[in-house]
Amino acid sequence: MAMKIRLARGGSKKRPHYSIVATDSRMPRDGRFLEKLGTYNPLLAKDDENRVKMDVERIQYWLSQGAQPTDRISRFLEAAGLRDKKVRNNAKKGTPGKAAVARAEEKAAKAAAPAEE
């Protein structure tokens, strides 16, 4: 059975509240799960200790059983000091797209034209 540690959404519209759960990866996001391991409330301030609550011992148990955490859960575990930090580098994110490059070239050409006259 492929196990995952992931978020299950709760709460009403525009008021999300998530449970951290251990589940079979084939189950739906908000469907059946084996164990609730904690909560995550994204509406709270980032420095609030109640934003992420985890049962660390149970999470370590599920990880030892082969459960794979999702990306968001991995970040929570890294912040708690349970996992080593991954190096994340998205070099293309900061580069402008084709349209922005074309606009910049057009603007530079317009700025250079009056200077020549």
| Averaged pLDDT score across all residues of the chain | 89
Asked if 54 and 20 count as a contact pair (C-beta separation under 8 A), the reply is: yes
Model pTM above 0.75:
no
Pairing of strands 35-40, 52-54: antiparallel
Q: Rounded distance, CA 86 to CA 97, Å?
A: 27
Q: Domains in the chain, start-ordered, CATH in brackets? A: 3-86 (3.30.1320.10)
Percent of the residues in the chain that have a pLDDT greater than 70, as a whole number: 97
| pLDDT higher than threshold 80 for residue 48 | yes
pLDDT digits (tens, 9 = 90+) for 87-111: 878 777 778 889 999 999 999 988 8
Residue 16 token pair:
């999300």
Helices (H), 17-84: 56-64, 71-80
Name the band, by pLDDT with cuts 50, 70 and 90, for residue 117: low
How many other C-beta atoms can be found within 10 angstroms of the C-beta atom of residue 75? 16
